[in-house]
Chain A
Amino acid sequence: MRPLTEEETKAVFEKLANYIGKNLVHLIDRDEDDAYCFRLNRDRVYYLPLNMLHHATSIARPNLVSIGTCFGKFSKTGKFKLGITSLDWLAKYAKYKVWVKQPGELPFLYGNHVVKAHLGRITEDTPEHQGVVVYNMSDVPLGFGVTARSTLDTRKLDPSGIIVFHQADVGEFLRDEETMF
Chain B
Amino acid sequence: MDVAQDLAEYAAKHANNVLERDVPIEVDAGLLAAFDNTPVDEAAYADLNPHLLSLTLTSTASLLASLFTLPRAHAQSSTSTGTGPTATLPPPKTLLPREKALPKPKQPTKWERFAKEKGISHRTKDKKEWDEERGEWVSRWGMGGKNREGEEQWLHEVKNRDDADLDPASTLRAARKARVTKNLKQQSANTNRAINANASTDPAIEKARADKVSSRTKRKSEIDRTLLITGTATASMGRFDKKLEGEPKVKGVKRKFEANELPSGGGGAKEERERQMGVLKRVERGEGKKVRKGGEGREGDVNARKAVRYEGKQQRARQKK
Interface size on A, residues (CB 8 A): 27
Contact of A129 among B259, B277, B297 (CB under 8 A): B297
Interface residues of B (CB under 8 A from A): 257-262, 266, 269, 272-273, 275-277, 279-280, 282-284, 288-289, 297, 299
Chain A hits for B273, CB < 8 A:
28-29, 35
| The 6 nearest A-B residue pairs measured at CB | A3-B258, A2-B257, A13-B283, A9-B279, A28-B276, A57-B261
Contact of A10 among B258, B262, B288 (CB under 8 A): B288
Chain A hits for B297, CB < 8 A:
127, 129
B265 CB, min distance to chain A CBs, angstroms? 11
B73 CB, min distance to chain A CBs, angstroms? 86
25 A–B pairs (Cβ distance < 8 Å), ordered by A: A3-B258, A3-B259, A3-B260, A3-B272, A6-B275, A9-B279, A10-B288, A13-B276, A13-B280, A14-B289, A17-B284, A24-B280, A25-B280, A28-B273, A32-B266, A35-B269, A35-B273, A37-B262, A37-B272, A38-B276, A39-B260, A50-B262, A53-B260, A127-B297, A129-B297
Interface residues of A (CB under 8 A from B): 1-3, 5-6, 9-10, 13-14, 17, 21-22, 24-25, 28-29, 32, 35, 37-39, 50, 53-54, 57, 127, 129
Chain A hits for B266, CB < 8 A:
32
Chain A hits for B276, CB < 8 A:
9, 13, 28, 38
B253 CB, min distance to chain A CBs, angstroms? 14
Q: How far is the CA of A25 from the CA of B278 in the complex (A)?
A: 11
Contact A37 B269 (CB under 8 A): yes
Closest A residue to B297 by beta carbon equals A129
Q: How far is the CA of A50 from the CA of B283 in the complex (A)?
A: 24
Of B269, B280, B289, B299, chain A has the most CB atoms within 10 Å of the CB of B280
Instruction: Given contacts A13-B276, A53-B262, list 8 more A-B pairs with CB under 8 A.
Output: A3-B257, A5-B257, A10-B279, A24-B280, A25-B280, A29-B273, A37-B272, A39-B260
Closest A residue to B287 by beta carbon equals A10
A76 CB, min distance to chain B CBs, angstroms? 15
Contact flag A17-B257 (CB < 8 Å), given A29-B277, A37-B272? no
Chain A hits for B299, CB < 8 A:
21
Contact of A54 among B259, B261, B282, B283 (CB under 8 A): B261
Of B279, B284, B299, chain A has the most CB atoms within 10 Å of the CB of B279
Contact B269 A2 (CB under 8 A): no
Contact A50 B280 (CB under 8 A): no
Chain A hits for B261, CB < 8 A:
53-54, 57
Q: How far is the CA of A29 from the CA of B269 in the complex (A)?
A: 11
Contact B280 A2 (CB under 8 A): no
Q: How far is the CA of A9 from the CA of B258 in the complex (A)?
A: 13
Q: How far is the CA of A28 from the CA of B17 in the complex (A)?
A: 114
Chain A hits for B279, CB < 8 A:
6, 9-10, 13
Chain B hits for A2, CB < 8 A:
257-258, 260
Chain B hits for A32, CB < 8 A:
266
Q: How far is the CA of A25 from the CA of B272 in the complex (A)?
A: 14
Closest A residue to B306 by beta carbon equals A128
